[in-house]
Each structure stands twice: as structure tokens, then as C-alpha cells.
Homo-oligomer: A and B are copies of this chain.
Amino acid sequence: MEEKLQLKSQVCFPIYSLSREIINRYRPFLDELDITYPQYLVLMVLWENEVQTVNQIGEKLNLDSGTLTPLLKRLEAKELIHRCRRRSDERVVEITLTEKASSLKSKAVLVPEKVVNDIGLTSEDLEDLKRIVTKILNKTKNLP
């Protein structure tokens, strides 16, 4: 019993730790852009496709409206996005990037590389990590 309950034997604790650790490493670089990590994720989704609904963003990030609505309002307050209800269906809120956000992209693109260098990750580490994590994430996608 003892052995199974040790932190080092756990599945989730190392992943939970690493997730927080990497986000903390992102922080100083994202501070310069005056955005948080989850805000950065939302902008990345929008940089790939400049107009998207709240739902579409949520599906890509696995976040619901309880998380996204206030986050998007903060991005709007920073003048990085516009929120506008769709004319043809007023239930839908369409999110569009502002000029300010578009011009942030060139700085944002440099951040991940800085973090990787900061931590000293090799491309082999990255490939190994991404391979196994993605494999497991795919397993969970077909579950209830």
C-alpha cells in the first residue's frame, strides 16, 4: 500500500508538476506581452483562424464558457479581440482579432523557442514528450 501512494509512483503528479513548471517558465516572456498563458492559447487559436465562435475556441482548447467568457472579456478590455453577436443567430458570439493582436503575433511566435532554450530541452526530449503525451491524449478522446 505504501508504495502505491508515493508521489513518485503516481501517474498524474509529474504531469501536473511539469505543466505548472512550464507555464511558470512562459510567464516572464508572456508578461512582456501583458497576457497570461491561457490568454496566449486563445490568441493562438485565433491567429490560426481570425474569426471564431466561443464554442469553436472552447472545443480546440477543451475549455467551457465558464472559463472562456470572462477570459475573452479580459482580452477585449486589453483591446486584443472584439466580441460581437452574429446577426443571423444572436445566440452566437463571434470573436475577431484586433489589429493590436495581429501585430502581437510576430513577438508571440518567438516565445515557445525561448522557453525551450531556457529549460534546455533538446529536440529529442521534445519529440519523445510530444509523442507519448499525444498518444495518451488520443486514447482519452474516444472515452466517455
What residues make up the interface of A, taking CB atoms closer than 8 Å to B? 1-2, 4-7, 9-23, 25-26, 37, 41, 44-45, 47-48, 60, 62, 105-106, 108-109, 112-113, 115-116, 118-121, 125-126, 128-130, 132-137, 139-140, 143
Contact = CB atoms under 8 A, between A and B. Distances in A.
A134 B49 CA distance: 35
Given A4-B112, A11-B126, 15 more contacts: A2-B48, A4-B109, A7-B41, A12-B22, A12-B23, A12-B37, A14-B129, A14-B130, A15-B15, A18-B133, A19-B19, A21-B140, A125-B139, A128-B128, A132-B132
A22 B14 contact: no
A1 B44 CA distance: 12
